Amino acid sequence: SHSSISDVLAGKYPVESIITVKGWIRTVRANPNFSFINLHDGSCFDPIQIVADKNLSNYAEIMKLTTSCSLSVTGKIVESQGKGQSFEIQADSIEIIGLVEDPDTYPMAPKRHSVEYLREHAHLRPRTNLIGAVTRVRNTLAQAIHRFFNEDGFQWIATPIITASDCEGAGEMFRVSTLDSVNPPLTDEGKTDFSQDFFGKEAFLTVSGQLNVETYCCALSKVYTFGPTFRAENSNTSRHLAEFWMVEPEIAFADLATVAQCAEDMLKYVFKAVLNERKDDLEFFDQRVQKGLIQRLETLSETSFVRMDYTDAIEILKNCGKKFEFPVEWGVDLSSEHERYLAEEHVGGPVILQNYPKEIKSFYMRMNDDNKTVAAMDVLAPGIGEIIGGSQREDRLDILDARMIESGLNPEDYYWYRDLRRYGSVPHGGFGLGFERLVSYVTGVANVRDVIAFPRAAKSANF
Ligand code: 4AD
Ligand code: MG
């Protein structure tokens, strides 16, 4: 078996050990006496330097190697003379596993590629420094989220992808259909009868697991779901994907303050995890993508997040003297320019905005005593805007029904959800974290399309 390059560079093996590593060439410098090969295997940011000399039996072939050829190298670990590198390998043998067929057209020339270019080259994208680092940080964040909830007694619930209900009531659902597209069943008016969609019922891809996870919350007390969600919004922004991952905890016997605290604790926990576990990748982002990133994460993981009422935020925005594209009035839904002003310029860090007007929020949010606002909270982050949206849920059936009707929903379609309010209803609440927005925030990578393995968005889903 072979060793991972991260273990070798971290000093897991003593100097002089003979080991085997396998990976792909990042860069190579060859001359008739020596070749220096930087080999990476994705296990950490840095490649390891391999020194090959002319005594190797296949040295003639080694001299022809190019970027991205794959190798198995066996050799001795020695301390590196090069700066910034701990160890290197003096090769005893190099087995060439896969050659690059046409090195002249291979795109990983020393130049840097744009993220747009990479989105169209599936073989190349994950081998770049950028996507490699994003992938490892994303993994660390996901593992830390599961760990955070597990340590706090939450149960992970798998909520369905195929659903009949529109959780956000925003009409942004993708249809799931089993209908014969050539000869679909027709309504009396001669139109496609979508009510027959899913083996005789209408069905969609879920926009959120919240309504489903609430049923488990009202039985197991602390639960969360973490999986893919889908929104058919045809918007071409740096914050929207058609397929994105969402983390949705739901807590029983909880009010809005408990939900907001859970969001803050979770974010700090995962910031610390990345700082501890992925310093190598964060240093890359700090140097190449966003200066001061590490310092910012360190500060964030220690300081309390500011909480602010929507009503106060509107006053601040109205009186700040800044010209916004969309004017601000009590009752408007905040746009990203407003969210970013609050986070970036007013607070200078993340802010938890609470108690929004009911008209701009979903039917399931709990009505406050003022009858005008609901117990909602959004976490707004500098550079991005909303990364979390959550609320205390309406646990009183009569008010829930009234809100559903107001929002144009048919309460009968949600009978199973309403039943929770009829049989042992409890105050409860939760939130949804847009996982790609979190990865974007933590890495400084501006577009959510570049922090997911296979972006699905308007005009970008090639592979
Ligand atoms: O604010 P949203 O729509 O809230 C919900 O779906 C609730 N059911 C969550 C809950 O309370 N359990 O979405 C939650 C988060 C947003 O704050 C945003 O970060 C992210 O999901 N999000 C998107 N991320 C990428 N692309 C999109 N199209 C997104 N839409 C929402
Ligand atoms: Mg929202």
Instruction: Give the count of beta carbons closer than 10 Å to the beta carbon of residue 82.
Output: 9
Ligand nearest the Cα of residue 167 is: 1
Phi, psi of 60 (to 5 degrees): -60, -40
pLDDT for the residue numbered 461: 62
Q: Which residues contact 186 (CB under 8 A, 6 or more apart)?
A: 192, 193
pLDDT for the residue numbered 456: 93
Q: For residues 6 and 27, what is the distance between their CA atoms, to the nearest angstrom?
A: 18
pLDDT for the residue numbered 414: 94
pLDDT for the residue numbered 185: 85
Which of 160, 156, 158, 246 minimizes the C-alpha distance to 206?
Answer: 160
pLDDT for the residue numbered 107: 64
pLDDT for the residue numbered 157: 98
pLDDT for the residue numbered 104: 77
Ligand nearest the Cα of residue 437 is: 1
Measured CA distances, 249 to 28, 333, 364, 420, 427 (Å): 48, 24, 15, 17, 15
Q: Whose CA is nearest to atom 4 of ligand 1?
A: 389
CA dihedral for 201, 202, 205, 211, sign (positive or negative): negative
pLDDT for the residue numbered 109: 54
Q: For residues 356 and 358, what is the distance between their CA atoms, to the nearest angstrom?
A: 6
pLDDT in tens, 416-429: 999 999 999 999 99
Q: Which residues contact 190 (CB under 8 A, 6 or more apart)?
A: none
- Phi-psi sector, 392: left (phi>0), alpha (psi -120 to 50), beta: beta
CA dihedral for 131, 136, 140, 146, sign (positive or negative): positive
pLDDT in tens, 293-343: 999 999 999 999 999 999 999 999 999 999 999 999 999 999 999 999 999
The neighbouring-strand residues paired with 70 are 24, 98
Spans of the chain, pLDDT less than 50: none
pLDDT for the residue numbered 65: 95
- Ligand 1 first shell, C-beta below 6 A: 167-168, 208, 210, 231, 233, 240-241, 244, 246, 248, 386-391, 430-432, 434, 436-437, 448
pLDDT for the residue numbered 182: 86
pLDDT for the residue numbered 165: 81
How many Å lie between the centroid of ligand 1 and the Cα of residue 390?
9
